[in-house]
Amino acid sequence: MKANAKYTAEELLNEAGFDGDKLGKVRVRIGGIPVNKPDHVINIPAGSDKIDVLVGQDTKELSFDGDNDERQVSDGARASLDAEGAAIEATDEHKEAESDEDEDEDDEDEKAVKSDKSK
Amino acid sequence: MLVIDQKSLNLRSCLGLDKIDRLYHATYVWTLQGATPTTIDATDLIQFAGAGGFDTAITVGAYNDSTHVESSVGANDSSGNTPKNSKFISQAGGTGGDSQVDIGGGTVDLDTISTANCPLKINFSHGTSVTTTSHILYGYNGSSQSTGPTEVDLRMAEQADANWTEAEGSGAPVTVNDDTTATSHDYFFLISASPTTVGEKTAFKIRDELTYT
């Protein structure tokens, strides 16, 4: 595992020798970052030699074998980032739908007002 | 510890720059990447421009074809540095719904762009090793952080993101991945902007916020 890369919490825990099933159950710190989800994407900055991984009362050291020349994204991190992107799309579509509904309601209000005025 | 830095942007139309004083031993350095990087100093502007280069206009509804650093007196500080540019193409037209971008060689998926080809690099450094969390980046109108830039459509993404974020206002920021402990942290961003009406756009800033511990 090299630095200058993004990994998920689960990947880093496994590399350090921990099971990912502890997440959300006990205190977990990865390189100082509090974590409670396995798909939490964490960037290991270039130049990082090692980090401490703490799970409950146990601490292990995770070492890195140098840096990637170009920042890499692990398979797990890629999947997590893709899911975040899909969530952005879902939010945008929801906002568009709400906007369309608002416009439709405005049209209906306008029609009601016109109808009243014509009486 | 929360630190904040921000820059004003302009659509060529124009760009204004604003910096908050550094806190404690923390330092921010903003750079427009290119064949040669251009440091964005405290009084500089980031200029989004058209295909004609520095000081050329962008058609209403279209996105930037070039990005530059403009000095406070209007000089092209990135001249000769071949600065990078990222142009919004689509929100979900790429592979598996990925966003698309053009960095000068045609349309590609957003998440294929390397750190070297991202226009904006922000470095946060500290005298001692620190983690960075709760890191966000967004644009606003320069006076109210919750309000997006005036008459500008803004799209931003952190390198490796699958989709653009319409990062207009503090309620819709780009969420930047946490960094484990280090004395120097590099962040890379793609940014693209489009004027929604004719005229110079000056109510336009980008704000970076993170917590370090």
Q: If DSSP states are collapsed to H, E and C, what string results for B55-123?
A: CCCCCCCCCCCEEEEECCCCCECCCCCCECCCEEEECCCCHHHCCEEECCCCEEEHHHCCHHHCCEEEE
Instruction: For residue B116, give the nearest of A71, A45, A66, A6 by alpha carbon.
Output: A71
Are B115 and A88 in contact (CB < 8 Å)? no
Residue showing tokens 């006076």: B143
Instruction: Answer yes or no: is pLDDT of B135 > 90.
Output: yes
What is the pLDDT of chain B when averaged over all its residues? Answer: 89
pLDDT in tens, B119-130: 999 999 999 999
Are B180 and A85 in contact (CB < 8 Å)? no
Q: Cα(A68)–Cα(A47) distance, rounded to whole angstroms?
A: 10
Q: What is the pLDDT of residue B161?
A: 97
pLDDT in tens, B77-129: 999 999 999 999 999 999 999 999 999 999 999 999 999 999 999 999 999 99
Residues 6+ apart with CB under 8 A from A89: B91, B92, B97, B163
Are B97 and A33 in contact (CB < 8 Å)? no
Banded model confidence at residue B33, pLDDT cuts 50, 70, 90: very high
Q: Cα(B212)–Cα(A99) distance, rounded to whole angstroms?
A: 38
Residue in B closest to A39 by C-alpha: B177
Shortest Cα distance, chain B CAs vs residue A92, angstroms: 9
Q: Cα(B98)–Cα(B100) distance, rounded to whole angstroms?
A: 7
> Is B128's Cβ below 8 Å from some Cβ in A?
no
- Which of B97, B179, B213 lies closest to A86 in CB terms? B97
Hey, is A98 helix, strand or coil?
A: helix
| Cβ atoms within 10 Å of B93's Cβ, excluding its own | 12
Q: What is the pLDDT of residue A19?
A: 87
Question: Which value, in Å, is the radius of gyration of the alpha carbons in chain B?
Answer: 16
Q: DSSP letter at A20?
A: G
Q: Residues in chain A whose beta carbon is closer than 8 A to a beta carbon of chain B?
A: 6, 30-33, 40-48, 51, 70-71, 73, 77-78, 81-82, 84-86, 88-89, 92
Q: Cα(B193)–Cα(B49) distance, rounded to whole angstroms?
A: 9
ipTM of the complex: 0.88
